[in-house]
Structure 1
């Protein structure tokens, strides 16, 4: 049995090294791009904002759109390869401020709050703000009285919404992380209207016959600009290239390419009902590999660190017990998503180390899981008959050998169900890493929803995948439990 355990541990260690190595490949330019330029620029964006930036899930994993084309053109002119990182919109400014990305292009409008954190380029595109609704009775701003109005969190539309609430009574403001979330809330009736930029709204209006829109009076947008770290030399370089694109007509060509209006009622798609053929299931399935890598490495890290913490908690040396108890208290006493965002955004700011989303997720979940696993293992060790310890000490068996060969094997047999439950919980909670842009199952299902304007189907597919993974872990746990019960 000891040899079998050793083989399993060795395999886990090899898998840890291999998977961790593969994870750092994410975000690296293609070999073709490497040959073109020696330098690289990292751009942050939120790929749920067609036609500015999005993923056509039926065709590829590549982020495309108006902003992407502009960024590629400018980066190429400046002699850089472009790497695009996808993340939540409200995390873009912190990403620039902490140095996680070199710049941001995401249909972002400069405002005073953002200018305090980052520098902006010249405006490269100006737009109008629209009220989008499926309520036939909402035809002007005053009709929003007593209605629920949705906006994207941290966006310029949020400022416009506050102006409306100051002017019209009883307007309930609802904030969501993404524009697709707002459209989904409109379709389900949770909100009555949403403020969306005209270039983005066109995509939804063309594909949903139930939606209509009108322009908010006197709210010409300040326009979209690229955001840079304070004092970055890239700001002036981008300004010069934006001027060149305007003068040459290159910018107008891209506007025509991405903001073409094809609003014909006969061609509108009805997104009501259930139709799994309308979504790209293979695109979601590709996220299984990323999720399995993440969960596998996190489980290995959590188990080994949890075992060490458990031994520290029963040690006679008081400072070890204090450290282990403080560690457990911190990780059990704070929200998991807070820990994830801390590792992802604070690490570059505090240490200057550019931590990858995958590594940030592994550290967060591994360290968090270790706190719970340590308590499980400690309880298992304490449950072993004290007489066995006394007998081992009486026979002169060293403490380390006693724990490794006598106490821990018995403890593991007793706590196996609890350990498997922790691993299952970790597998389900891994969906949280979608908020930092890791292309796991959940993130891909969200992207499919944004691309197809359907949300029920991709979420059902994602749910089924997680269910199958959890059931597989459950069966595996029962198999191991039966083998251990036979004393193999």
Structure 2
């Protein structure tokens, strides 16, 4: 019996060593134990959030391919997200090891990043109202055409513009483009067939038709930083998936309805009215609500840190020390004179390259908003300090209180009491501006609503529900501030 146990133990140990060595050798072939993939999860069926319930899981065609490659090459997969036009900058800033987002390898992109072989061929289509009779490039003369910013469809729109007189309108999301068609601001849009199909099914007044001249122009590939060692092993697995039918199986799973180049023969219905039906987002409400804690964490952290930084800057300005005053004034002018979105992008993308620290999207958001709100708060706090009666200064000085003790115990409490309404307004502004962090991949309230809208091919219902959440939060904040202000007045 002991010999059998010893033999069994030896066999298990040998298998463990072999498997362990296999995984080590595979991991070493890709250079890292964990690879980060970045995507734009608002593009079903390629990648999108599974919004049923509160779990935030990104699924889709590209995700299944990435997981298959992960299994074959033996690395752990970390999935990050961004808007589509932020994917290549994130790759260049070394925030990710590869991009999968239905991206087409154009010559312009190849100058800056590397690509794998094509793993899926798609067709570009014209999405328009059924009554518009826009079916091919020649029909677009004199029309306004919508395209998604940074996509191959934008490039194809420019290609059409070389031969046909059209005006391009670039927007960040396909859902926004569809709403522009329905509102009559644009005449048609160039959208990939698999994506167009979902919007046409959800909007009975729309149709889509394959553009013959660029019928085979779109193909999806994996993007890598220039000179990446991952290209060859990824290509080997993709080729294997083509040979063994795995890519075809996944295509059928996610693109089960055959893309059509046929024109619908059904009569064109009247233009859809704005018929709101909030029942369509009931299953997704927990997903949207999960953005509330993140929004509050972001806002309160930024306000708290910004208050301290703004107080320090205000002291610099009134200290009488010229270098500190110059620094504070220049700093304030820079952060008040440049767009907040620009500051956010610079902090998020430039920090890893300048410092080597891979700052997270949430950290970048809190840091940016702290620096920005500190600049605004410094002026408010400085005004509050200078509004305190000079007799308070003189009384404290005559009693032998040191300058900094006087500022901390006597002047600053009175100044903060006077500027409380202004600080509340700054907090409310930060709460609403927190939606900007969605551009670098933070899934807060507004981003959650946009994801639900993209998945459901609807627009207004999730956004209006998000607006209701913001309104409730702002009213709660205003009520709490009013109660605090009344309490401080009674304590006078």
Common fold, TM-score beyond 0.5?
A: yes
**8 Å contact from structure 2 (residues 135, 211) kept in 1:** no
In structure 2, the partner of 1:8 is none
Deviation >3 Å, runs of 4+: 262-266
Match status 1:178 vs 2:177: no
Q: Which residue of structure 2 aligns with residue 221 of structure 1?
A: 217
CA-CA distance at 1:69 after TM superposition: 0.5
- 2:101 is aligned with 1:106: yes
Question: 1:476 is matched with which residue: 472, 475, 480?
Answer: 480
The answer as to 2:462 corresponding to 1:462 is no
Cα distance between partner residues in 1 of 2:273 and 2:256: 21
1:233-260 alpha-carbon deviations (Å, 9 max, x no partner): 1111101111111111111111111111
Deviates more, 1:196-205 or 1:231-240: 196-205
Question: Which structure: larger Rg?
Answer: 2
In 2, distance between residues paired with 1:222 and 1:361?
A: 34
In structure 2, the CA distance between the partners of 1:210 and 1:44, relative to structure 1 (3 Å rule), is same
Write the distance in 2 (CA, Å) between the matches of 1:445 and 1:42.
Answer: 25
- Between the aligned partners of 1:462 and 1:205, the Cα distance in structure 2 is 25
Equivalent position of 2:276 in the other structure = 274
Alpha-carbon distance between aligned partners in 1 of 2:192 and 2:202, rounded to the nearest angstrom: 16
**C-alpha separation between the residues in 1 aligned to 2:75 and 2:174?**
31
User: What is the CA–CA distance in structure 2 between the aligned matches of 1:45 and 1:272, rounded to whole Å?
Assistant: 31
Answer with 142-151 or 436-445: which moved more: 142-151
- 1:389-428 matches, cutoff 5 A: 389-428=393-432
Equivalent position of 2:352 in the other structure: 348
Matched residues in 2 for 1:287 and 1:214: separation? 37
**1:191 paired to 2:186:** yes
Query: Are the aligned partners of 1:45 and 1:85 in contact in 2 as well (CA < 8 Å)?
Result: yes
**Aligned counterpart, 1:31:** none
The answer for the alignment partner of 1:18 in structure 2 is none
Secondary structure of 1:167's partner? coil
- Which residue does the alignment assign to 1:41? 35
2:46 corresponds in structure 1 to 52
1:117 equivalent in structure 2: 112
From 247, 251, 258, the counterpart of 2:247: 251
Seen in structure 2, the aligned counterparts of structure 1 residues 339 and 107 have a Cα distance that, compared at 3 Å, is: same
Query: Cα deviation per residue 1:383-437 (whole Å; 9 max; x = unaligned)?
Result: 1111221222122111111111111111111111111111111111111111111
| Cα distance, 1:222 vs structure 2 | 4.7
**Cα offset, 1:363, TM superposition:** 0.5
Structure 2 unaligned regions, length at least 5: 1-26, 267-271
Q: Normalized against structure 1, the TM-score is what?
A: 0.88
Question: 2: distance between equivalents of 1:226 and 1:213?
Answer: 27
Aligned with 1:126: secondary structure?
Answer: strand
- Structural mapping, 1:83-102, within 5 Å: 83-102=78-97
Equivalent position SS for 1:260: coil
For structure 1, list consecutive stretches of 5 or more residues without a partner in the other structure: 1-36
**Equivalent residue for 1:77, pick from 59, 67, 72:** 72
Q: How does 1:125-144 map to 2 (within 5 A)?
A: 125-136=120-131, 137-144=133-140
Q: Does 1:429 align with 2:433?
A: yes
Residues 40-71 of structure 1 show CA distances to partners (whole Å, capped at 9, x for unaligned) of 11111111111111123235421111111001
Distance 1:262 1:484 in 2: 67
Distance in 2 between residues matched to 1:116 and 1:472, nearest whole Å: 51
- Counterpart in the other structure of 1:442: 446
Distance 1:218 1:411 in 2: 68
Among residues 316, 320, 336, which one is paired with 1:332 in the alignment? 336
TM-score (norm 2): 0.88
- 1-side partners of 2:383 and 2:405: how far apart? 20
Counterpart CA distance in 1 for 2:123 and 2:414 is 68
| CA deviation map 1:288-310 (0-9, x unaligned) | 01101111111111011111111
Question: CA separation in 1, counterparts of 2:397 and 2:79?
Answer: 60
The counterpart of 1:238, out of the listed 234, 243, 260, is 234
How far 1:262 moved relative to its partner? 6.9
Q: For residues 412 and 218 of structure 2, what CA distance do their matches in structure 1 show? A: 65
Per the alignment, in what secondary structure is the counterpart of residue 194 of structure 1?
Answer: strand
Cα-to-partner distance string for 1:162-216 (whole Å, 9 max, x where unaligned): 12222222x2211111122212222222221111112222222333322212211
- Contact 1:121/1:235 (<8 A) preserved: yes
CA distance, structure 1, for counterparts of residue 440 and residue 314 of structure 2: 31
1:289 maps to 2:285: no
Cα RMSD (Å): 2.0
- Tell me which of 156, 161, 182 is aligned to 1:165: 161
Deviation at residue 272 of structure 1 after TM alignment? 5.4
In the TM superposition, what is the alpha-carbon distance from 1:380 to its structure 2 partner?
0.6
